[in-house]
Amino acid sequence: MAAALMDFDKALELYEPVLGFEVHVELNTKTKMFSAAPNSFGREPNTDLAPVDLGLPGSMPVVNEQAVRYSISLGLALGCSIAASSRFARKNYFYPDLGKNYQISQYDEPIAYEGQVEVELADGTLVQIPIERAHMEEDAGKLTHVGGAAGRIQGAAYSLVDYNRAGVPLVEIVTKPIFGAEHGAPELAAAYVRTIRDIVLSLGISDARMERGNLRCDANVSLRPRGQEKLGTRTETKNVNSMRSVERAVRYEIRRQAAILAAGGTITQETRHWHEDTGVTSPGRPKSDADDYRYFPEPDLLPVVPAPELIEQLRAALPEPPATRRRRLKAEWGFTDLEFQDIANGGVLAEVEQTIAAGAAPTAARKWWTGEIARLANAADRETSELVEPAAVAELQKLVDAGTLTDKLARQVLEGMVAGEGTPQEIVDARGLAVVSDDGALIAAIDEALAAQPDVLAKIRDGKVQAAGAVIGAVMKAMRGQADAARVRELILERAAQ
């Protein structure tokens, strides 16, 4: 299925990439968009359902007020205008994950429209992303394909449907076409998604965990020959569920489309699917007349007419915009440009902030997230931000600060945390990793080591203090690393003096 690809720089020489994004954000309300069933994750299939989530005959939707407030807040944070009157519409299409065979969404009157989001690139460049609209809708259920290769839809014998996710509140954020990204297009894509993630996290309206599908990005890419006015045909790549993938998928589409265009071919307007494993996109359904969603105003629901006071109240409660926030945090934490870019580019700003809020020093928090956690994430091919909880990292650092753990032991505890073995303290207890602070045990080990190396003891007594190093090594080995080397050194000098 591997398509011919053009070299990226060559592609950019010939064509201008035009981007567009549709990001779906799952809101973390207690209940669903249109029913009082729990908005849950990871529960037994088909357990968190109200009649309307299954489209049962006679069931009816009722709008979750909190979801509306969250949507307005998000709209405001995206710099959008909030519609004086907004309404729901039915998007009609048959698919087994849709309980009603229509999705309640918004069409001609979205809750928020015409906004702008500032995105910062690695080199500090600020790019304005124009937002067309943000609208409220409901999520679909989950399909599991059985009998085909690797759970793929192709060749599956049958599929199983779990509707627990059906009706979970979504906000879909749609950008206008984005011009001028040029070589930075792939990076901009990831930076945009990261910015949306930062915004919804700072608003506290979504868990924003991409691996759980809380945040999903569809990336639209088209190319137009240099100097041409008319936009090229675009593809919409779906199923891009990490920031790294967004970047890779955009780069791939640019290279793929460029190869086709340069060979005199035409781009098919279609949805494409991103394959995380192989790093390629493959065609989905072609966009055709069959995509006739027959939108019409949802007759079971009434217009949402937000009171101006409510909008102002929510506006006043908005967190600061990401770029402002970055400038403030950088100053507060006292980092250099380089140190701060490490954090921002690592996509762990929120994590570092939360770790500091939970009690860790800025330098320690930065060191964890851009160092060891990033290394483990890289090795596991996962998102750094998704590896561990910031509060747990702060707890880990507390153990280091208290002398319970050395840096080396702390790294072992971190591995346990990533492996899901529990809280830092639980892992310390379970693995018996704490620094031995019982002097008695240390002294016994030191005396034994000194007795085994009388020449070293003599040197120390002669004032050659650096000779203690050899004993320290032996003691640490005997303590299986669980000792504070500085304390061991102190004790060696004490014992030698006796």
Partner 1 sequence: MSDIIRLSAAALADRLAAGDISSVEATQAHLDRIAAVDGDIHAFLHVNEKALDAAADIDRRRAAGEQLGTLAGVPLAIKDVLVTTDMPSTSGSKILEGYLSPFDATVVARSRAAGMVPLGKTNMDEFAMGSSTEHSAYGPTHNPWDLERIPGGSGGGSAAAVAAFEAPLALGSDTGGSIRQPAHVTGTVGMKPTYGGVSRYGAIALASSLDQVGPVTRTVLDAGLLHDVIGGHDPHDSTSLTDAWPSFAAAAREGATGEVLKGLKIGVVTELPDSGFQPGVAASFRDALDRLQAHGAEIVEISAPHFEYGVAAYYLILPAEASSNLAKFDSVRFGMRVDVAGGTVEDVMAATRDVGFGEEVKRRVILGTYALSAGYYDAYYGSAQKVRTLIQRDFDTAFGQVDVIATPSAPTTAFKIGEKIDDPLQMYLNDLTTIPANLAGVPGISIPSGLADDDGLPVGIQFLAPARADARLYRVGAATEALLVDAWGGPLLDRAPVLNERSRTMQEGSR
Partner 2 sequence: MSEITPELVRHLGVLARIQLSDAEVERLTGQLDVIVDNIAKVSQVATPDVPATSHPIALENVFRPDEIGQTLTHEQALSNAPDAADGRFRVTAILGEEQ
Which residues lie near partner 2 (CB under 8 A)?
29-31, 35-38, 44-51, 54, 62-68, 85, 87, 93-97, 101, 103, 140, 143-145, 153, 156-163, 238, 271, 273, 284-285, 289-290, 292, 294, 297, 299, 301-306
- List the alpha helices (DSSP H) in 286-336: 308-316, 322-333
The residues, ordered by sequence, that sit 6+ positions from 265 with a Cβ below 8 Å of its Cβ are none
Burial of 138 (0-12, 13-18, 19+ CB in 10 A): buried
Among Mg ion, Zn ion, partner 1, none, what does residue 179 contact (CB within 5–8 Å per kind)? Answer: none
Residue nearest to Zn ion (CB): 172
How many Å apart are CA 372 and CA 384, to the nearest integer?
10
Site string for Zn ion, 126-165 (x = CB under 5 A): ----------------------------------------
Among partner 1, Zn ion, Mg ion, none, what does residue 54 contact (CB within 5–8 Å per kind)? Answer: partner 1
Helix (H, G, I), strand (E, B) or coil at 272: strand
Write the DSSP symbol of residue 38: B
Query: Measured at the alpha carbon of residue 122, what is the angle toward residues 118 and 128, in degrees to the nearest 5?
Result: 20
According to CB under 5 A, which residues from 453 to 492 bind Zn ion? none
Using the rule CB under 8 A, is 51 a contact of partner 1? Answer: yes
B/e letters for 26-38, b = 16+ CB within 10 Å, e = fewer, are bbbbebbbbbebb
Using the rule CB under 8 A, is 161 a contact of partner 1? Answer: yes
Residue 147 CB, shortest distance to partner 1, in Å, is 13
Using the rule CB under 8 A, is 153 a contact of partner 1? Answer: no
Question: Residue 63 or residue 470: which is nearer to partner 2 going by CB?
Answer: 63
Among partner 2, Mg ion, Zn ion, none, what does residue 122 contact (CB within 5–8 Å per kind)? Answer: none
Contact 178, 239 (CB under 8 A): no
Residue 209 CB, shortest distance to Mg ion, in Å, is 21
Residue 218 CB, shortest distance to Mg ion, in Å, is 6
Residue closest to 434 by CA, chosen among 379, 376, 382, 479: 479
Using the rule CB under 5 A, is 383 a contact of Zn ion? Answer: no
How many Å apart are CA 362 and CA 348, to the nearest integer?
13
Using the rule CB under 8 A, is 244 a contact of partner 1? Answer: no
Contact 181, 127 (CB under 8 A): yes
Question: Residue 138 or residue 187: which is nearer to Zn ion going by CB?
Answer: 138
Site string for partner 1, 60-99 (x = CB under 8 A): xxxx--------------------------x-x-x-x--x
The residues, ordered by sequence, that sit 6+ positions from 273 with a Cβ below 8 Å of its Cβ are 237, 238, 239, 281, 282, 283, 284
Residue 63 CB, shortest distance to partner 1, in Å, is 7
Question: Residue 229 or residue 292: which is nearer to partner 1 going by CB?
Answer: 292
The residues, ordered by sequence, that sit 6+ positions from 149 with a Cβ below 8 Å of its Cβ are 155
Site string for partner 1, 265-294 (x = CB under 8 A): ---------------------------x-x
Using the rule CB under 8 A, is 54 a contact of partner 1? Answer: yes
How many Å apart are CA 491 and CA 474, to the nearest integer?
14
Total residues binding partner 1 (CB under 8 A): 30
How many Å apart are CA 19 and CA 237, to the nearest integer?
11
Contact 250, 189 (CB under 8 A): yes
Using the rule CB under 5 A, is 172 a contact of Zn ion? Answer: yes
Among partner 1, partner 2, Zn ion, none, what does residue 55 contact (CB within 5–8 Å per kind)? Answer: partner 1
Residues near Zn ion (CB under 5 A) are: 172
